[in-house]
Structure 1
Amino acid sequence: MGKVTVKNLGKAYKTYSGRWARLAEWILPFVKPRHQLHWVLQEIDFQLEAGEAVGIVGINGAGKSTLLKLIAGTTQATTGTIDIQGRVSALLELGMGFHPDFTGRQNAVMAGQLQGLRADEIEKLMPAIEAFAEIGDYIDQPVRTYSSGMQMRLAFSVATANRPDVLIVDEALSVGDAYFQHKSFERIREFRRAGTTLLIVSHDRYAIQTICDRAILLNRGRLEMQGDPVEVMDFYNAMLAEKEQQTVRQERLADGRLRTISGTGEASISSVTLLSDEGKQLDVVEVGTYVTLEVRVAINTPVTRLVMGYMIKDKLGQSIFGINSHRLGMPQTDLLPGEELIYRCRFPVNLGKGSYSVAISLSRLDSHLDTNYEWRDYSVIFHVINTLSPDFVGCAFLDAEMAIERPRSSQNVNIDEVAA
């Protein structure tokens, strides 16, 4: 149970030139239509296997929330079909369906009934709902007195009180405090381990890459891309920086990874190399060793200001460390075509064992979202090994020291007395 199949899905809304056109069409339904169709979604095809977690990403207006509403059944499709096997629970718009004048408890009961739960089932689940929401006496206060975070707490607690076959979560989890966000995602992970199929919309790269098996990118109501979460999120981030005359492309590397390159091209990356202090090119690095990241940049057209930045990521695409020349107070200005810049960034590889990649950014200001000359993922891939340091656990090597003190008083205790 929990399989979802979407075929040729489309959603369009009628738009009229004015209210009289709407009235005329209603009175005279057999004459020429007086409306136009505005398509929010078109030709959406994908499938979720039972127990799979899929993230949906895209800029505002791409159709993400509409897609979730169609799958949840709160709105009807114009074209296509949706086949769902199993019980669905959806957390869409914040507090959607809550009556502001009813108490949290009353709203929880009504929401449970809408999910198909019986009165006795809701009564058994109510203590768990209250405990997870952690809103105290507010559970018996009108919802209109709740903050947005409290509404989200109650809505999520009700939606997940009884593990569904399919869980649909919109961006509502971005509201509220960090504690409850962490708590909510842990419950989602528990559901995943138990076999729940998950469909989630989030702008949080960490959430998509750590929770989801696959990601879907929507662009202007169409399915732009689907696949590995890291590759989809890299392409999505490149789209965010896309402006007039800027290109976004992807190329497959020898190891099978998909590299995303975007930018306007005024400045471009000629080469990126990871070097030892002896000048030897590296792809395997010992923990704690100092290395130099050498980035060569070509200036193609006049550039008034240039900032180079690099980001080290782990194999899941999580950001480990990033810095740029703007934050270091070293931006370059008034560059001319034909010039070349060589950046050398030296740092110790205080990382845990594993595979890492380096993304390079050339931009005008602190962020590549403002005048992105070039953004290149997987510019360098290297592996960290540990043969000289203690066998530590984690992603950061802190080279910790340990001291142990054993006071004489404890050494002089008679063992027989302790045993007695």
Structure 2
Amino acid sequence: MNGSIQVNNLGKAYKRYPNHRARLLEWLLPFAGPRHQQIHVLRDISFSVEPGQALGIIGVNGAGKSTLLKLITGTAAASTGSVAMQGRVAAMLELGMGFHPDFSGRQNVFMAGQLIGLTVAELAALMPEIEAFAEIGDYIDQPVRVYSSGMQMRLAFAVATAKRPDVLIVDEALSVGDAYFQHKSFERIRAFRAEGTTLLIVSHDKGAIQSVCDRAILLDGGRVSKEGPPEEIMDLYNAMIAEKENQTVRQETTDSGKVQTISGTGEATVADITMLNEQGERAEMLGAAAPVRLRVTVAIQADIANLTLGIRIKDRLGQNIFGTNTHHLGRPIGAVTAGERLTVDFCFALNLGPGSYSVATALHSADTHLVDNYEWRDLALVFNVMNLQLPYFEGCTWLAPELAITRH
């Protein structure tokens, strides 16, 4: 069966009473009027995930992400709207959800597995694979209460994905795992996607959202703020995080049709950015491993005590390939005054694989834009790389390998 999710005008509100007496009086005297205040957590959420698609949900803490997943999976009741799902659903909403702390991991596998629709016979057959994937060793026969949070997550994920579901829903639970297991988990998720599983995932991991999902939704204040390609939504999300009271966040459509996110106070701005080839000419098409010069011209609009310029190169999926700034390179710009213009050249060999890339720029103080964000500009420049002279290679990076072959 093909899995799908349809969410229509979904909303969730809670009643807030000033005290217990008000709650009792409202129950005893229903015609005397409400004595509570409605607190809306979610309002008018609508979207669909068709069979085989992957949708990412992102938003700051308190935006309503976890509540939305609880409404979709039925662990909480919606105040308005409806949810329709087709296919067998596996969900990981909370760490170790359904596990009993006094039972062993093996016993919990059988209990949790039956909750997601697997039979005892299926679980017995799948147990060796579950043990192998979880990699918790002899702890499988120990009480879950002695497990670390990472071990609980490993076992919970192994059970939830022991048999490919039609719909897989994953909350932030994977974030507690170590880097190795996160990588292993997302490899399984990608394999399920390739086999037709419909995916709904909540994560703050930009790489995960952009590499796995077709679309993304940004939740803000319990509403869908924007829906679109993962790169566009993640850029807007990152800009919102850096936003201060005296900053603005805006999105503009470039000549190529892509949506560019710009945020910051505007005290310093990028006036021009270009990639220069070996001959010093502006170029949009460049050769792999060729020497290039990324030139950024900065216009200073106000006196700044300590200015830093950062660059970030991203691939066509929006995943970070390389990033640095003048602070980390040990070449601080320092103090600048209003009316100045600066030209900063980043010179390097373009050791990238063939494909399309973009450059994001950041003007800020110290080492990060999260303190003083003067301007963050995504898609400030787009360029293409072709392999014109190198031997054939795959991937996004040219490593210039040297071979040593010894016969014995």
Matched residue, 1:42: 43
2: CA distance, partners of 1:29 / 1:87: 41
Matched residue, 1:240: 241
Give how far 1:170 is off: 0.4
For the pair 1:400 / 2:401, whether they are aligned, the reply is yes
Per-residue CA deviations over 1:135-191 (Å, capped at 9, x if unaligned) read 222122111110001100111111112221111000111112222212211111121
2: CA distance, partners of 1:183 / 1:334: 46
TM-score after normalising by structure 1: 0.93
1: CA distance, partners of 2:404 / 2:122: 56
More deviation, 330-339/75-84: 330-339
1: CA distance, partners of 2:284 / 2:383: 4
Is the Cα contact below 8 Å between 2:292 and 2:347 reproduced in 1? yes
Matched residue, 2:137: 136
**What is the alpha-carbon root mean square deviation over aligned residues?**
1.5
Give how far 1:205 is off: 0.8
Alignment-mate amino acid for residue 81 of structure 1 = S
Per-residue CA deviations over 1:210-259 (Å, capped at 9, x if unaligned) read 11111111111110111111111111111111111211111122222211
Task: Note closer, same or farther for the CA distance 1:134–1:334 as it changes in structure 2 (3 Å cut).
Answer: closer
TM-score after normalising by structure 2: 0.96
Structure 1 counterpart SS, 2:99: coil
Question: Larger radius of gyration, structure 1 or 2?
Answer: 1
Alignment-mate amino acid for residue 254 of structure 1 = D
Matched residue, 2:228: 227
Alignment-mate amino acid for residue 22 of structure 1 = R
Name the % identity: 61
1: CA distance, partners of 2:400 / 2:10: 55
Q: Which runs of 5+ in 2 are unaligned?
A: none
Is the Cα contact below 8 Å between 2:273 and 2:296 reproduced in 1? yes
Give how far 1:346 is off: 1.1
For the pair 1:258 / 2:259, whether they are aligned, the reply is yes
Matched residue, 2:62: 61
1: CA distance, partners of 2:294 / 2:65: 39
Give how far 1:286 is off: 1.3
Task: Note closer, same or farther for the CA distance 1:129–1:278 as it changes in structure 2 (3 Å cut).
Answer: closer
More deviation, 324-333/89-98: 324-333
Matched residue, 2:374: 373
For the pair 1:332 / 2:333, whether they are aligned, the reply is yes
Q: Which runs of 5+ in 1 are unaligned?
A: 408-420
2: CA distance, partners of 1:373 / 1:351: 29
Matched residue, 2:15: 14
Alignment-mate amino acid for residue 111 of structure 2 = M
Give how far 1:405 is off: 4.5
1: CA distance, partners of 2:156 / 2:30: 41
Alignment-mate amino acid for residue 277 of structure 2 = S
2: CA distance, partners of 1:276 / 1:127: 56
Matched residue, 2:212: 211
Alignment-mate amino acid for residue 15 of structure 1 = R
For the pair 1:391 / 2:392, whether they are aligned, the reply is yes
Alignment-mate amino acid for residue 217 of structure 2 = I
2: CA distance, partners of 1:112 / 1:27: 43
2: CA distance, partners of 1:123 / 1:399: 49
Give how far 1:121 is off: 2.8
2: CA distance, partners of 1:123 / 1:226: 42
Matched residue, 1:122: 123
2: CA distance, partners of 1:337 / 1:179: 48
Alignment-mate amino acid for residue 61 of structure 1 = G
More deviation, 329-338/251-260: 329-338
More deviation, 354-363/22-31: 22-31
2: CA distance, partners of 1:196 / 1:288: 39
Is the Cα contact below 8 Å between 2:308 and 2:334 reproduced in 1? no
For the pair 1:103 / 2:104, whether they are aligned, the reply is yes
2: CA distance, partners of 1:136 / 1:263: 50
Task: Note closer, same or farther for the CA distance 1:399–1:163 as it changes in structure 2 (3 Å cut).
Answer: closer
2: CA distance, partners of 1:268 / 1:233: 22
2: CA distance, partners of 1:100 / 1:19: 33
More deviation, 37-46/252-261: 252-261
Per-residue CA deviations over 1:315-337 (Å, capped at 9, x if unaligned) read 11111111101112222333221
1: CA distance, partners of 2:188 / 2:407: 43
1: CA distance, partners of 2:120 / 2:280: 72
Aligned length: 407
Alignment-mate amino acid for residue 232 of structure 2 = E
More deviation, 327-336/143-152: 327-336
Give how far 1:299 is off: 1.3
Give how far 1:386 is off: 1.5
Task: Note closer, same or farther for the CA distance 1:165–1:337 as it changes in structure 2 (3 Å cut).
Answer: same
1: CA distance, partners of 2:172 / 2:354: 34
Per-residue CA deviations over 1:34-55 (Å, capped at 9, x if unaligned) read 1111111111110000111111
